[in-house]
Amino acid sequence: MKPLGPIPPHFHSQGADLLIAGRPARDWAQAHGTPLFVYEAGAVRARVAQLRAALPARVRLHYAVKANPFGPLLALLAELVDGFDIASAGELALLKARGIDPARAGFAGPGKRDAEIAAALAAGVTLHCESAREVERALALGAAAGHRPKLAIRVNPDFDLRGSGMKMGGGARPFGVDAENVPPLARRIVASGADWRGLHIYAGSQALDAQAVIATQAATLDLAARLAGEAGVPLPALNLGGGFGIPYFPGDTPLDLAAVGSALAARLADLPPVLHDTQLTVELGRYLVGEAGVYLAQVVERKESRGEVFLVTDGGLHHQLAASGNFGTVVRRNYPLAIATRMDVPATEIASVVGCLCTPLDRLADKAALPRGQEGDLVAVFCAGAYGATASPAAFLGHGPASEILAETPVDRAG
Amino acid sequence: MKPLGPIPPHFHSQGADLLIAGRPARDWAQAHGTPLFVYEAGAVRARVAQLRAALPARVRLHYAVKANPFGPLLALLAELVDGFDIASAGELALLKARGIDPARAGFAGPGKRDAEIAAALAAGVTLHCESAREVERALALGAAAGHRPKLAIRVNPDFDLRGSGMKMGGGARPFGVDAENVPPLARRIVASGADWRGLHIYAGSQALDAQAVIATQAATLDLAARLAGEAGVPLPALNLGGGFGIPYFPGDTPLDLAAVGSALAARLADLPPVLHDTQLTVELGRYLVGEAGVYLAQVVERKESRGEVFLVTDGGLHHQLAASGNFGTVVRRNYPLAIATRMDVPATEIASVVGCLCTPLDRLADKAALPRGQEGDLVAVFCAGAYGATASPAAFLGHGPASEILAETPVDRAG
């Protein structure tokens, strides 16, 4: 038996039914078919409220579109957060399609093409330049188009986020400008007459250890102050990165957000003068939407093979690559998962939940303790709100993409 | 320094230029943009010719659509192979869209929905049933629609393909009917009046060791004969599976196809009576198209960070997940890769080739010995013809899918 990850605590059930946004999972499946991603609008609002309560008021919140670019979710977040971070001209187009002002967005990414830079500058996006060469390309493209480019420097710090699921800084990296090369480049931008927008320092992602996040934020503020001081330029804005993790796996515990917030408040009370007027932003993707999402798949067949039970579903790794253990993980562990139509029954057997793809990689739960599942039951994979639908090979084997919905909790049933 | 995989030997260069289907890579990139998959029609034809020469004439060739469902490639293969294997109703629709007769196709896959089974039966596809339950569903759906279903049994053998990159048989599996349960199910199908189409035994994939393939084919023939004998039914057809691998990584050597063919010929000369009239099929995907494909991406920037060189391209893991080491591999190794516009220059530096995605996972070559690459150069990732475009998260970060073309070698330049 292999344990399952922890189900996010805001999910409840009613009799046999898992409730999603106040309605039984089977209702969503009947209305929209399976496989289906359901994103709870209420959970996103609650998470933003937690962040606003915990973090100093001065800190702005950005949403990293890459985590989940589903249009209705972007529209919801536009009402809740202060800005967006995008990683491509495609993501810029998604913001525009939802009527979101691109001037609220920053654009980071190591391989920006000329056409992408030009589109971003024309739309008023702040370009987070990843290299001196990119600064020159942006200045030239801005001059050619008659725009005054909004330019920040993405910094490759000389530290990383301890315990991070994904290290983005420290050592040699394709991301950002090595910290030691930032001061002359900052002066170059200021001297060029561009709209200097400061620094972006992203050291890592998916950390559950508050002390690691606190240490990284402190190091980020120190580094930013030092670089601005060395450059002799003001620092209008600083993107502190993100890195707030969510619990996916057995034994994971939630990030202590209150601890992060109070440490940051203490630090902000004692900033060096160069940071006094700096606009500070925390950039979050997964932390805002990851736990709000559930992926529902239907059991097509219950199968027994040589003493093992398989629940074969109509979903799979083509929608949930990370949950299958095939994206950025070395050792496969089980995501949180439940039989959404058997919530009132205890686990009585060991079963593996697999997808409909003809590959042994397609496994949503491996040897998990579950209630006895049958044809027609629904399986819920939790923590499916981020890096799910768009971070999976949707065209693989021709089953096509899953449906997605943003679900509002009915007012009369909201708790 | 980490070595690169072996470039397939049919690729050549002309001066600085890698030739693809007889034309410089930069011509393809100019005509179709980057990132771009180019599939050489000639290489596919040559591979099929090698197979026809090496395998006994009695053995039919099928193409497994999942390896690469690009429409023009399907149309080409329709002229070259004897049939197709599909894994979803989506793949069935792709065959129909190219005017390929679905009666030439078999449909295997562990999670077939009722709608998929009905569509397949209506189109005359042979259903490779993965369980007794699926047989009953197919019989009921066929009866309801007034079709006589063409049914085969996919067998979960009691052995696997030694040295296989992906084991599909042996032990408990979600795929196929455990061998020991096949005889009564075969009798059930025959008794039902359905069109009994025999067995499908797929033990594994991506094997480079001819002796392993030979042993598996022998075991497959033995098992099929034994099961048919025990069932007391004729065996009209047997899909022997595939498993022929291609060299991806440093040290990999090509499968000895001649050895496989001669061993199979010897075995066919000495078959038990129950297999005398059996239609035998080998099902190949990757082996037919993998080495025919090249993925071209353009260097957006040459970047140095703390002593390391990065060639940042406009491509990445959103098109080439397996090459990035993030799909079904535990230890990342380098695919074959070259700077397609510097073929006349020796390797003079160690560089990593990365994609444009903002994640450290997005690496196409890690610390490889390469000629000095510059902005505007083209990078070629080889062995990109199978499990590339559709087996990657094309929507991730909003850059969109790559272009794909099937390239014919101009007659006047063909060697």
Contact map slice: A 363-382 vs B, CB within 8 A:
375
Q: Report d(CA A379, CA A377) in Å as an integer.
A: 7
Helix (H) or strand (E) holding A370: strand A363-370
Q: Which residue of A has its CA nearest to B67?
A: A397
Task: Please report the pLDDT score of residue B415 as a whole number.
Answer: 43
Structure tokens at B151: 């049914």
Q: Do A112 and B300 touch (CB under 8 A)?
A: yes
Q: Do B355 and A111 touch (CB under 8 A)?
A: yes
Cβ(B299)–Cβ(B370) below 8 Å: no
Contact map slice: A 293-352 vs B, CB within 8 A:
300-303, 305-308, 310, 312-314, 316, 321, 326-328, 330, 352
Whether the CB of A47 is below 8 Å from some CB of chain B: the reply is: no
Task: Please report the pLDDT score of residue A186 as a whole number.
Answer: 98
B43: Cα separation from own chain's centroid: 14
What's the CATH number for A12-39+290-414?
2.40.37.10
Q: How many alpha carbons lie under 13 Å from residue B250 in its C-beta half-sphere?
A: 13
Counting one residue from A and one from B, how many pairs have CB atoms under 8 Å apart? 208
Distance from CA of A327 to the nearest CA of B (A): 6
Q: Report d(CA B328, CA A329) in Å as an integer.
A: 10
Mean pLDDT of chain A: 96
Q: Do A398 and B87 touch (CB under 8 A)?
A: yes
Using the 8-state DSSP alphabet, how is residue A251 labeled?
T
Q: Contacts of residue A174 in chain B, CB cutoff 8 Å?
A: 303, 305, 310, 312, 352, 354
Q: Do A174 and B328 touch (CB under 8 A)?
A: no
Largest Cα separation within chain B, whole Å, is: 72
List, for residues A67-125, the tens digit of each pLDDT value: 999 999 999 999 999 999 999 999 999 999 999 999 999 999 999 999 999 999 999 99
List, for residues A119-135, the tens digit of each pLDDT value: 999 999 999 999 999 99
Q: Which of A45, A111, A197, A400 is nearest to B362 (CA)?
A: A111
Q: Do B90 and A173 touch (CB under 8 A)?
A: no
Q: Do A173 and B305 touch (CB under 8 A)?
A: yes
Q: Which residue of B has its CA nearest to A355?
A: B111
Q: Report d(CA A92, CA B96) in Å as an integer.
A: 36
Distance from CA of A299 to the nearest CA of B (A): 8
DSSP assignments along A8-51, one per residue: PTT-EEETTEEEETTEEHHHHHHHH-SSEEEEEHHHHHHHHHHH
Residue of B174, B327, B398 lying closest to A69 (CB–CB):
B398
Cα–Cα distances in Å, from B282 out to A191, B150, B209, B223?
67, 19, 17, 16
Distance from CA of B204 to the nearest CA of A (A): 10
Q: Do B399 and A168 touch (CB under 8 A)?
A: no
Q: Contacts of residue A356 in chain B, CB cutoff 8 Å?
A: 88, 109-113
Q: Which residue of B has its CA nearest to A311?
A: B174
C-alpha dihedral sign at B140, B143, B146, B152: positive
Q: Report d(CA B340, CA B347) in Å as an integer.
A: 13
Query: Which of A74, A153, A358 should one mutate to test binding to chain B, selecting the residue with the greatest count of B CBs within 10 A?
Result: A358
List, for residues B47-56, the tens digit of each pLDDT value: 999 999 999 9
Is residue A275 helix, strand or coil?
Answer: helix
Structure tokens at A77: 């977040």
Q: Which of A153-167, A240-254, A288-302, B206-220 has the lowest mean pLDDT?
A: A153-167
Angle at CA of residue A117, ends A112 and A121, nearest 5°: 150
Read off the pLDDT of each residue in A263-275 and give the average, rounded to a whole number: 97
Cβ(A128)–Cβ(A108) below 8 Å: yes
Q: Do A356 and B88 touch (CB under 8 A)?
A: yes
Cβ(A200)–Cβ(A130) below 8 Å: no
One of 3.40.50.150, 1.10.238.10, 3.40.30.10, 3.20.20.10 is the CATH number of B69-284, namely 3.20.20.10
Q: Do A156 and B305 touch (CB under 8 A)?
A: yes
Task: Please report the pLDDT score of residue A414 as a whole number.
Answer: 46
pLDDT over threshold 50, residue A415 = no
Residue type at position B18: L
Q: Which of A115, A325, A154 is nearest to B399 (CA)?
A: A115
Q: Do B396 and A400 touch (CB under 8 A)?
A: no
Query: Which of B85, B141, B303, B353 should one mutate to test binding to chain A, selecting the residue with the greatest count of A CBs within 10 A?
Result: B303
Exposed e or buried b per residue across A2-37, where buried means at least 16 C-beta atoms within 10 angstroms of its C-beta: eebbbbbeebebeebbbbbbbbbbbebbeebebbbb
Q: Report d(CA A324, CA B61) in Å as an integer.
A: 32
Tokens 């998929």 sit at which residue?
B116
Tell me the pTM. Answer: 0.96
ipTM confidence score: 0.95
Read off the pLDDT of each residue in A13-36 and give the average, rounded to a whole number: 98
Q: Which residue of A has its CA nearest to B326?
A: A327
Residue type at position A164: S
Residue of B321, B361, B400 lying closest to A90 (CB–CB):
B400
Whether the CB of A361 is below 8 Å from some CB of chain B: the reply is: yes
- H-type alpha helices, A203-301: 210-231, 257-268, 286-289
Helix (H) or strand (E) holding B325: none
Q: Contacts of residue B69 in chain A, CB cutoff 8 Å?
A: 395, 398
Structure tokens at B365: 């070559």
Q: Do A392 and B390 touch (CB under 8 A)?
A: no
Count CB neighbours of A269 within 10 A: 8
Count CB neighbours of B83 within 10 A: 21
Cβ(B217)–Cβ(B264) below 8 Å: yes
Q: Which residue of A has its CA nearest to B394?
A: A393
Distance from CA of A397 to the nearest CA of B (A): 5
Contact map slice: B 155-214 vs A, CB within 8 A:
156, 166-168, 171-175, 178
Largest Cα separation within chain A, whole Å, is: 72
Is residue A313 helix, strand or coil?
Answer: strand
Distance from CA of B301 to the nearest CA of A (A): 7
Q: Contacts of residue B86 in chain A, CB cutoff 8 Å?
A: 398
Pairing of strands A105-107, A83-86: parallel
% of residues, chain A, pLDDT over 90 = 92
Query: Which of A94, A299, A303 should one mutate to test binding to chain B, selecting the residue with the greatest count of B CBs within 10 A?
Result: A303
Q: Report d(CA B224, CA B234) in Å as an integer.
A: 11
Task: Please report the pLDDT score of residue A35 as a whole number.
Answer: 98
% of residues, chain A, pLDDT over 70 = 98
Residues of chain B with pLDDT under 50: 413-415
Cβ(A167)–Cβ(B335) below 8 Å: no
Q: Do B66 and A396 touch (CB under 8 A)?
A: yes
Q: Contacts of residue B68 in chain A, CB cutoff 8 Å?
A: none
3-state secondary structure chain B: CCCCCCCCCCCEEECCEEEECCEEHHHHHHHHCCCEEEEEHHHHHHHHHHHHHHCCCCEEEEEEHHHCCCHHHHHHHHHHCCEEEECCHHHHHHHHHCCCCHHHEEECCCCCCHHHHHHHHHCCCEEEECCHHHHHHHHHHHHHHCCCCEEEEEEECCCCCCCCCEECCCCCCCCCEEHHHHHHHHHHHHHHCCEEEEEEECCEECECCHHHHHHHHHHHHHHHHHHHHHHCCCCCEEECCCCECCCCCCCCCCCCHHHHHHHHHHHHCCCCHHHCCCEEEEEECHHHHHHHEEEEEEEEEEEEECCEEEEEECCCCCCCCCCCCCCCCCCCCCCCEEECCCCCCCCCEEEEEECCCCCCCCEEEEEEEECCCCCCCEEEECCCCCCCHHHCCCCHHHCCCCEEEEECCCHHHCC
Residue of B66, B310, B399 lying closest to A88 (CB–CB):
B399
Residue of B90, B356, B392 lying closest to A109 (CB–CB):
B356
Q: Which of A358, A304, A319 is nearest to B107 (CA)?
A: A358
Structure tokens at B180: 């020991």
Read off the pLDDT of each residue in A47-58 and give the average, rounded to a whole number: 98
pLDDT over threshold 80, residue A166 = no
- CATH 2.40.37.10 residue ranges of chain A are 12-39+290-414
Query: What are the DSSP E strand ranges found in A204-344?
Result: 204-205, 237-239, 279-284, 293-305, 308-313, 337-339
Q: Do B94 and A305 touch (CB under 8 A)?
A: no
Q: A222 exposed, middle or buried (CB, 10 Å; 0-12, 13-18, 19+)? A: middle
Cα–Cα distances in Å, from A150 out to A16, A194, A195?
54, 6, 5
Q: Do B398 and A65 touch (CB under 8 A)?
A: yes
> Helix and strand tally (H, E) in chain B?
10, 22
Secondary structure of chain A: what % helix, strand, coil (to 5)?
35, 25, 40
Q: Contacts of residue B172 in chain A, CB cutoff 8 Å?
A: 305-308, 310
pLDDT over threshold 60, residue A178 = yes
Residue of B166, B171, B358 lying closest to A66 (CB–CB):
B358
Whether the CB of B276 is below 8 Å from some CB of chain A: the reply is: no
Residue of B111, B167, B178 lying closest to A356 (CB–CB):
B111
